A = this chain, B = another copy of it.
C-alpha cells in the first residue's frame, strides 16, 4: 500500500468443485475459469477445492501473463485445495491446518482427508494479507454433527487472523465458510476479528438474490439439499478490514447467477463472488480495530462455547464407548488364548477343537481391538482440542467481562 494514496482492488473468489473423477465436466470448467480470469484481469484470485495439482499447474501456465504470482497450499492426504493468483508479488505464505476436521471413518463425507486449512499470503512486507479458506461442510442442518468442529475451525481462524494481522494495513478473506450469514460461527468470526462482510457493505450489488452462492438455478447443485431454501443459501464470502491508517470500502459486489457470464455452463456448483474494494489511506491511524467493540460479542462467544461444550460431551461419550469396546475385544482375545492353552495342555481332548470358528473369532476380535483402539485415540485427540478451545473461549470471556 506504500506510496499509493488510493487503490482499487478487484477480487475474485470461487469454490471450484474440481475433484478428479467425481466433479462433472471438471476439465471443461477449469478451462473456462482460466479463460475468464485471463479476460477479466482481477487483482487477486482466491480459489478453493482445486484438489488436483495438475489443474493448478494448468491454470498457472494459462494465467502466467496476467497473474504472474501464485501459490498452491499443500496439506492433508488429498490437499487443501486452496490456491491464490495475484497481480502483485506474494512475498510469504503460511498454512494453518485446523486441529479438528471431521472424522476419518466418515468416508462418504471425506472432509478429514482434505486437511482443511487457511492459507495466508502476504504482500508488501506483510502490510496486506489475504486469506483463502474453506471450513468443514454442513451435511445436515437440522442435526449438524459437525457444528462443534466447524466452530473450533471458526475460532482457530479468528485467532489466527488476530495474531497474524496485527501489523497489517488491510486483511482480505475469501472462501467457502459453509455457514449461513446468521450462524453462530460466522457471528463469532466477524465479532472476534472485526471483519466486515462485503455483501452487507457493498454500495452496489448485482447477482443472485440475497447474495446466495448455492442456488437452485445452478445445474450442478443438489436440488434436494436446497428444498428448505428456495432462493438458495449464502455460504461463500469476501470479508475485509482495515487495521492501521487505511479505510476499505466495498464499491461493488457481484455473484455469478447459475451460469458463468456469457457461457452456457456454470464455473462450479458454487457461484463466484467478485468484489471491487476501494482502499484509501487516512490522515491519521484509525487505531487497531480488532473487533472487540461489539457489546454482543460476549453473548456470541458464550453461545459458541455452549455448542463446543455439547460437542465435548459427545466426544467424551464416544471416547468412552470406543475404549470399552477395545477392552471387551481384548478380554475376548485373552479368553481365547486361555482356551487354546487349555487345549494344548490336553484339557477337553475328548472333544474336537473347532479350529476354523476359533480362528475366525480371534481375527474378528483382533480387528475390533485395532479399530476400537484407533477410534479411542482419535476421540482422545478430539476431546483435547474441544477442551482447549472451550478453555480459550473462557479466557476471552473473562477478559471481555473484566473490561469496562
A residues in contact (CB < 8 Å) with B: 71-77, 79, 90-97, 99, 113, 115, 120, 122, 126, 159-160, 162-164, 166-168, 355-356, 359-360, 363, 377, 380-381, 384-385, 387-388, 391-392, 395-396, 399
- Kindly list chain B residues whose C-beta atoms are within 8 Å of the C-beta of A168: 166
Chain B residue with the shortest CB-CB distance to A168: B166
Complex CA–CA separation, A396 to B399 (angstroms): 38
From known contacts A163-B126, A166-B167, A167-B166, infer whether A74 and B356 are also in contact, taking CB-CB under 8 Å: no
- The answer to whether B162 touches A163 (Cβ under 8 A) is no
A196 shortest CB reach to chain B, Å: 21
User: Cα distance A384–B73 when bound, in Å?
Assistant: 9
Smallest Cβ-Cβ distance to A386: which chain B residue:
B74
Which chain B residue shows the least CB distance to A355?
B356
- A92 and B396 contacting across the interface, CB-CB below 8 Å: yes
Contact across chains for B159 and A76 when beta carbons are under 8 A apart = no
Expressed in whole angstroms, the minimum distance between the Cβ of A188 and any Cβ of chain B is 15
Q: How far is the CA of A105 from the CA of B143 in the complex (A)?
A: 36
- What would be 30 A-B contacts, judged by CB atoms less than 8 Å apart? A71-B395, A72-B391, A73-B388, A74-B384, A74-B385, A74-B388, A75-B381, A76-B384, A77-B381, A77-B384, A90-B395, A91-B399, A92-B162, A92-B163, A92-B395, A92-B396, A92-B399, A94-B160, A97-B97, A97-B99, A115-B381, A120-B163, A126-B163, A163-B163, A163-B164, A166-B168, A355-B356, A356-B356, A359-B360, A359-B363
Q: Do A74 and B115 touch (CB < 8 A)? A: no
Instruction: Please give, as numbers and ranges, the residues of chain B lying within 8 Å of A359 by CB-CB distance.
Output: 356, 359-360, 363
| Contact among B75, B162, B380, B385 for A388, CB-based, below 8 A | B75
The answer, among B160, B162, B387, for a CB contact under 8 Å with A74, is B387
Distance A79 CA – B383 CA, assembled complex (angstroms) = 11
A20 to chain B, nearest CB (A): 14
Given contacts A97-B97, A167-B166, A396-B92, contact A391 B74 (CB under 8 A): yes
Cβ-defined contact, A166 with B73, below 8 A: no
State how many angstroms separate the Cβ of A132 from the closest Cβ of chain B: 15
Minimum CB–CB distance for A330 against chain B, Å: 17
* A355–B94 CA distance with the chains assembled, in angstroms: 56
- Contact residues in B for A399 (Cβ distance below 8 Å): 91-92
Q: How far is the CB of A333 from chain B (nearest CB, A)?
A: 14
Docked pose: A120 CA to B385 CA in angstroms:
16
* B126 A380 Cβ-Cβ under 8 A: no
Contacts of A395 in B (CB 8 A): 71, 90, 92-93
**Given A76-B381, A359-B356, A359-B359, A388 contacting B92 (CB threshold 8 A):** no
